[in-house]
């Protein structure tokens, strides 16, 4: 299974909201946004050509500096568009700023600075996608599917229908998401 799909299936998610059917409504808090959208932010950064460790660092930096530090949610104006669009633009701008900062440092390195050879580092990421935007949207949809599955699993458990969930998961959900063969 590709790493991004595995990450999307294993990432923690907050409970789905009744007022957010398509995942585009603004989160209620910065902490909710950080937890809920980490996977989509990471997917965009990773697909933009960064190595896994660099993408994780940049994602964490974005969450700390922009989402929490600059309080991105306070800049949301629902009349101007969806939260998803604001978030994607903010990630693009953050990456551009990080690129400028990194390359300015390379032009004027400090005494003991070592420049990494990024081309030599091998990493595994989804190369089927042509753009970071596609990776972002794919991770966003993965988050929505994960939230819907969590809600359905909880509903089945509450109604004593654990066996129905198990059959659905083994025969439909896993084959669809992971490409696994359905189990009888």
What is the full per-residue pLDDT of the chain (184 aa) written as tens digits?
Answer: 334 334 433 444 444 444 444 555 667 777 888 888 898 999 999 998 889 999 999 999 998 888 888 888 887 777 777 888 888 989 999 998 888 887 775 555 555 444 443 433 333 345 555 688 888 888 888 888 888 889 999 999 999 999 988 888 888 888 887 777 777 7
SS3 content of the chain, % helix, strand, coil (to 5): 65, 0, 35
DSSP 21: T
R_g of the chain, CA atoms, integer Å: 19
SS3 132: helix
């Amino acid at each position: 299974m590709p790493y991004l799909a595995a990450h999307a299936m294993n990432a923690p998610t907050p409970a789905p909201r009744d007022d957010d059917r398509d995942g585009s409504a603004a989160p209620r808090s910065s902490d909710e946004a950080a937890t809920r959208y980490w996977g989509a932010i990471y997917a965009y950064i990773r697909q933009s050509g960064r190595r896994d460790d660099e993408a994780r660092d940049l994602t964490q930096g974005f969450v700390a500096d922009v989402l929490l530090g600059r309080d991105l949610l306070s800049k949301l104006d629902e009349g101007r568009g969806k939260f998803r669009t604001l978030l994607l633009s903010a990630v693009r701008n953050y990456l551009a700023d990080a690129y400028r900062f990194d390359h300015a440092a390379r032009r004027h390195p400090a005494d003991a600075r070592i420049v990494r050879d990024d081309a030599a580092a091998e990493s595994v990421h989804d190369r089927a996608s042509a753009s970071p935007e596609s990776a972002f949207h794919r991770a966003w949809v993965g988050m929505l599917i994960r939230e819907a599955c969590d809600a359905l699993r909880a509903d089945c458990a509450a109604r004593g229908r654990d066996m129905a969930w198990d059959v659905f998961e083994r025969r439909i959900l896993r084959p669809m998401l992971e490409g696994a063969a359905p189990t009888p």
